[in-house]
Amino acid sequence: MQETLLNVIVRKREIQGHDVVVLDLARADGASLPVFEAGAHVDVHLAPGLVRQYSLCSDPADASSYRLGVLKDPASRGGSSHVHDALLEGRELQISVPRNLFPLASAAQRSLLLGGGIGITPMIAMAHALHRQGAHFELHYCGRARARSAFLEQLAGAPFADRVHTHFDDEALAQRLNLPDVLGRGTRGTHLYTCGPAGFMDWVIEGARQQGYAEDHIHKEYFQVEVDATGGAFEVVAARSNKTVQVAEGQSILEALATVGITVEISCEQGVCGTCLCDVLEGEPDHRDVYLTDDEKAANDQMLVCCSRSKSPKLVLDI
């Protein structure tokens, strides 16, 4: 099925925190954009073959524009550098309709939002939604330096400003995040949401486990992870396409399928977004993504072909 794309224009552009570009995207004709839920993202079509996902960080109740915050990554694979260099005010582009892989739990009695660096973006939309619901929540924003952090002015002027706590590595020890104190003991009613660099998220998630949080009360969204491409060769049978291919050591399933003319829709290529999710009909995947839950990985009936490999000599996929 063909993806629905929206034609938008960069209505406003601002550099914050030295290396974060904040973009407000709107329809050129001024019409309303589709409503989105807190935690959602859009696929931004930057150039042919260059699609990247960015979280929406505006108020979900405001359908006049979508706000994105994009950190310029020194190790950019083309996405963030293109955003910074090419998406100027007045530029027209296409984006997907919003999709939500990081939703708020409807049954939560208390929500803890912990964002590290640019991982603050989905947390801002969540805070707007929770405030509008009259829900009990806290937003904790962690960064290396206040001068390099975006959205501080927006958060200071937000209607939920009294729920916002900032923690910076270059400031007094007393204001740094005391994770056990913030988390408290895990209870049925408390849900944790975290987003940011992998090291920060791993620290938060492990801390939550130590505090007794149930796995289904720990919600996470990774922006970027290191892909482990090691592993021996194996065979992949694309059942629907009636084609078989050998996946070489160090080669991804995605790359191998391309050699026999099979194209799979992709976006992040790091096992983060779930775009390349495929059904497994036979064999045992070697899951290397951060998208599927532990239970979903244990079921072995789905896998992400951009990064995962095989534990069995052969995989049969519904492609």
Mean pLDDT, the chain, rounded, equals 92
Question: Is 228 within a domain?
Answer: no
Question: Is 130 within a domain?
Answer: yes
Question: Is 37 within a domain?
Answer: yes
User: Per-residue confidence at 1, pLDDT binned at 50, 70, 90?
Assistant: very low
Please give the single-letter amino acid code of residue 174.
A
The answer to whether the beta carbons of residues 127 and 63 sit under 8 Å apart is no
Task: Please give the DSSP secondary-structure letter assigned to residue 242.
Answer: T
Please compute the mean of the pLDDT values over residues 169-174 and round it to a whole number.
Answer: 95
Please compute the mean of the pLDDT values over residues 67-94 and round it to a whole number.
Answer: 89
Please compute the mean of the pLDDT values over residues 107-129 and round it to a whole number.
Answer: 97
Q: Which residues contact 32 (CB under 8 A, 6 or more apart)?
A: 63, 64
Domain count, the chain: 3
The answer to whether the beta carbons of residues 217 and 205 sit under 8 Å apart is no
- Residues 116, 216, single domain; the answer is yes
- Residues 273, 184, single domain; the answer is no
- Residues 92, 116, single domain; the answer is no
Question: Is 229 within a domain?
Answer: no
**CATH number for the domain including 123?**
3.40.50.80
**CATH number for the domain including 298?**
3.10.20.30
CA-wise closest residue to 137 among 168, 167, 104: 104
The answer to whether the beta carbons of residues 124 and 140 sit under 8 Å apart is no
Question: Is 101 within a domain?
Answer: no
CA-wise closest residue to 271 among 246, 298, 290, 247: 290
Model confidence pLDDT, tens digit, residues 135-156: 999 999 999 999 999 999 999 9
Q: How far apart are CA 202 and CA 204, in angstroms?
A: 6
Task: Please give the DSSP secondary-structure letter assigned to residue 99.
Answer: B
End of a domain among 222, 245, 280?
222
Domain that holds residue 201: 110-222
Question: What region does 125 belong to: left with phi over 0, alpha with psi -120 to 50, or beta?
Answer: alpha
Beta 243-247 vs 234-238: how paired, if at all?
antiparallel
Reading the block at residue 273, the tokens are: 């977004």
- Residues 270, 300, single domain; the answer is yes
CA-wise closest residue to 19 among 138, 112, 147: 147
Question: Is 102 within a domain?
Answer: no
Residue with tokens 């955003």: 83
Q: How far apart are CA 164 and CA 160, in angstroms?
A: 7
Beta 277-282 vs 314-317: how paired, if at all?
antiparallel
- Residues 215, 303, single domain; the answer is no
- pTM as predicted: 0.82
End of a domain among 96, 124, 152?
96
- Residues 195, 258, single domain; the answer is no
113 burial level (CB within 10 Å; 0-12, 13-18, 19+): buried
User: Per-residue confidence at 49, pLDDT binned at 50, 70, 90?
Assistant: confident
Question: Is 239 within a domain?
Answer: yes
Q: Phi and psi of 123, rounded to 5°?
A: -65, -30
Q: Containing H/E element for 53?
A: strand 50-55
- Residues 180, 137, single domain; the answer is yes
**CATH number for the domain including 67?**
2.40.30.10
Question: Is 134 within a domain?
Answer: yes
Task: Please give the DSSP secondary-structure letter assigned to residue 250.
Answer: T
Residue with tokens 């913030």: 182
- Residues 199, 244, single domain; the answer is no
- Residues 159, 203, single domain; the answer is yes
End of a domain among 96, 121, 150?
96
